[in-house]
Chain A
Amino acid sequence: MSKISIPLGPQHPGLKEPINFGLVLEGEQIDKATVNLGYNHRGVEKAAEERTYIQDIYLIERVCGICSHSHVTCYITCVEEIAKAEIPERAKAIRVLVGELERIHSHLLWLGIAAYEIGFDTLFMYVWRDREHVLDCLELVGGNRVHYSINTLGGVRRDITPEIKAELLKRIDILEARTKYYTTLATEETTVLARTQNVGVLPKDLGIRLGACGPTARASGIARDVRKDEPYLIYDKLDFKLITADTCDVFGRVVVRVLETVESCRIIRQVLNYLPEGPISIKVPWKIPEGEAVNRYEAPRGEDIHYVKGNGTDKPERVKVRAPTLANYHAVPHMLEGGWLADVPLVIAAIDPCMSCSDRALVTDRAAARSAVWSWEEMRRNGIEFYKRRGVDFSKVTLK
């Protein structure tokens, strides 16, 4: 049979965000798949260098609307490390609390999207209805539903009052009960099983070789979680399980995520009961000394890495973001190849991709070089112009 290649995206009903997949089909089966990134590249890292550390909090938060707290916490920990500021224990606990609320919100969102991709709209609506509880919790704690900006340099902005604590505990109980219901539903409902089992398989050794992270890795039996491997904030004081599955398919990823949501409910309860007394933030000077720091954080999608370099002013010299989805992209072509076309949206959704997180650089794909993709020359020319406007002339510099 002759092969046909079709593009998938950047605007596609199965994808919520712009990304492009090149699929080579043999009949209904996928022979080869490639990923093209860059549709969502905005230039956040460059913009971060032009803003102060405080302004960057709000910019970095908007790298991604789903794991905004993860990015900011990772970034702000780097800055605090350079400034040698030790934040109060209560602030750490609140950061963990918001981080886990965010994990619940993200995993439930994912479960809804996955149900939608399966074609199980009832589950999608149910999950999103219950997800409103956690958004209410976040609004209560941070003051906004999606970008809660709880972090500030040296601690957090808002405190947890006893009333908020009581309300949170109430909501968490509801959420836990609902999530447990979804656990049975997702593991026993035949339609879900039929659509997810043995779909998008990523064997363990391949997952390790490709550097998969987060629930994608854990569903392939790789016990990798920064919260356990290198506990940050107060995770070393908390008791929670590292969830893995060994089915290596989409089903495993569903199971890992719903069980992780239950674990997050447990963590939140522990944090609320632990919450030490004391201030919620300390003063950190606006000028951050010279130095550099790298930090890892377990975002809902996996390991998030931030690198910050300070140069003694109130603006960072360099900020680098490595979002978890970027690590998981490499696995996607392997999951797709050999599978069916109808499963593509589900398999892609199963890594819980976040395009806005991962489009850090434009891809220059020589084989598919079109005007849509910036060539190196274009990028260089633009860079030179950018610095010229700021009074530095790089046009004499030649590249080897």
Chain B
Amino acid sequence: MKTKSLKEKIITWSRVKSPWILHFNSGGCNGCDIEVVDALTPRYDLERFGIQLKPTPRHADVMVVSGPVTRQQIKRIKRIYDQMAEPKFVVAVGACACSGGVFDGCYCVAPGGLDKVVPVSAYIPGCPVRPEAVIDGVVKLLGSLQK
């Protein structure tokens, strides 16, 4: 029993210390994308929390989605979500991903934001999000993992 809980502890610890993220643009305007990349570059440096950008969904723990979900992307985002290994988290970045933002109501956009398409764990508002907000959101998400 004791060893198991230690094992679990180690798993949680390693999960919290090195979440790998996958960035997916579901049809946004780019503004959020560049701010997410900005958060990873020297001034904000998200990597100091062990966060790394990963190119493939199979390696990623967290999917960072920016932009409203366009009709073309609904199917693809679901597929990518399914490809990720458990446990997986989705972070909605920007007003668009949270609620549709300025594009809510456009004929080619899934109404109501990202959470209508895949389950979302954290919402980071802003149009575009500031890198500070990205850091704040990610740290809060990691904190909730620790319980």
Question: Residues on A close to B: CB < 8 A?
Answer: 10-13, 16-18, 38-44, 46-47, 50, 58-59, 62-66, 68, 109, 112, 124-125, 128-129, 132, 135, 145-147, 354, 356, 362, 372, 374, 382, 386
Contact = CB atoms under 8 A, between A and B. Distances in A.
B33 A47 contact: no
Contact of B27 (A16, A42, A112, A374): A42
Nearest to A10: B76
Given A41-B72, A129-B42, A146 B34 contact: yes
Contacts of A11: 24, 57, 76, 80
12 contacts: A16-B33, A18-B27, A39-B70, A40-B25, A47-B105, A64-B29, A65-B29, A112-B41, A125-B42, A132-B43, A356-B27, A356-B28
B146 to A, nearest CB: 29
Given A42-B109, A65-B30, A146-B128, 20 more contacts: A13-B56, A18-B26, A18-B27, A38-B72, A39-B73, A40-B25, A42-B68, A43-B107, A62-B127, A65-B33, A66-B34, A68-B31, A128-B37, A129-B41, A129-B43, A132-B38, A132-B43, A145-B130, A354-B30, A362-B72
Instruction: Classify the secondary structure of A's interface with B.
Output: loop
Contacts of A386: 107
Given A16-B25, A372-B72, A147 B30 contact: no
B21 interface: no
Residue among B29, B31, B101 with max Cβ neighbours from chain A (10 Å) = B29
Nearest to B83: A11
Contact of A66 (B27, B30, B38, B73): B30
Nearest to A128: B41
Given A16-B33, A68-B31, A147 B127 contact: yes
Nearest to B101: A62
Contacts of B70: 39-42
B85 interface: no
Contacts of A374: 71
A356 B24 contact: no
B9 interface: no
B118 interface: no
Interface string B48-84: 0000000111000000000110111101100010000
Given A13-B56, A146-B35, A386-B107, A63 B42 contact: no
Across the A-B interface, give the 3 residue pairs with the lowest CB-CB distance, nearest first. Answer: A65-B31, A13-B55, A65-B30
Nearest to A112: B41
Nearest to A17: B25
A120 B55 CA distance: 17
B73 A18 contact: yes
Contact of B42 (A18, A128, A146): A128
A145 B33 CA distance: 13
B134 interface: no
A146 B109 contact: no
Interface in B110-144: 127-128, 130
Contacts of A16: 23, 25, 30, 33, 37
B69 to A, nearest CB: 10
B145 interface: no
B10 interface: no
A98 to B, nearest CB: 15
A43 B104 CA distance: 10
Contacts of A146: 31, 34-35, 128
Residue among B41, B55, B56, B109 with max Cβ neighbours from chain A (10 Å) = B41
A146 B70 CA distance: 22
A65 B128 contact: yes
Contacts of A59: 102
A47 B103 contact: yes
A145 B131 CA distance: 10
A307 B75 CA distance: 33
Residue among B43, B68, B108 with max Cβ neighbours from chain A (10 Å) = B108
B76 A147 contact: no
Interface string B7-24: 000000000000000011
A47 B25 contact: no
A330 B128 CA distance: 30
Given A18-B25, A59-B102, A65-B128, A43 B109 contact: yes
Nearest to A113: B37
A192 to B, nearest CB: 19
